[in-house]
Amino acid sequence: MTEDDPRRWRSTAHNVVYGNPWIEVSEHAVIDPNGNSGRYGLVHVRKLAIGVLPIDHAGRVCLVGQHRFPGDYYSWELPEGGGPADVAPLISAQRELKEETGLTARGWLPLLSMDLSNAITDERARAFLAWDLTEGAPEPEESEALRVKWLPFGVLLAEVCAGAIRDAFTQTMVLKAEVAFRQGELPAVAAAAIAAGHDV
């Protein structure tokens, strides 16, 4: 009775109550894991959440700043965006990085995979570490108004640890990179960049 636990949610009917290009909200008639009847509002997120931690040879990380509508605050985050479900996450990550910052990278490593809010949505996230960067012109989407700034990795980590960066996806990417670095799991060039970013 662990992964084989037969007690699960079951949907007996559902209807779509809202949809737009990013999300679809459905209400399901459900039987809960204990056999009780109920309702469950499920937010389907159409795209994969894609994140990138781009770090240069000096250990500086590129962040983007923008106003976030749902929480109504200005947010500095790692480059993030939505990738179509039928596109390889790495391809979407390379596109998002270029669009938001103008950067291209020659070094790429999968950093993490996670589900962002798994009691309410089915949103999945994939992130990459990117290094060996070349600067270029950003290509923002029509609705995006982004600022870019660079922070040494150690300063960014301190901001995450202090709660100054609210975005969960950014927090997790930075913490995961730090742990992978401390555990000696990163390629030499990426590890050297993070080491440099601690020494500033």
Using CB under 8 A, which residues numbered 159 to 188 contact a second copy?
Answer: 161, 163, 166-169, 171-172, 175-176, 178-180, 182-183, 185
User: Smallest gap, in angstroms, from Cβ of residue 39 to a second copy?
Assistant: 6
Q: What's the rounded Cα separation, in Å, for the pair 86 and 91?
A: 11
CB 38 within 8 A of CB 11: no
Residue at token pair 């056999």: 35
Residues 81-120 binding a second copy (CB under 8 A) are 112-120
Task: Count residues binding a second copy (CB under 8 A).
Answer: 79
Q: What's the rounded Cα separation, in Å, for the pair 72 and 88?
A: 31
Provide the pairing of β-strand 60-68 with 73-77.
antiparallel
Residue at token pair 């994939």: 126
The reply on whether position 18 binds a second copy by CB under 8 A is yes
Residues 28-87 binding a second copy (CB under 8 A) are 28, 30, 32-34, 36, 38-45, 49, 65-72, 74-76, 80
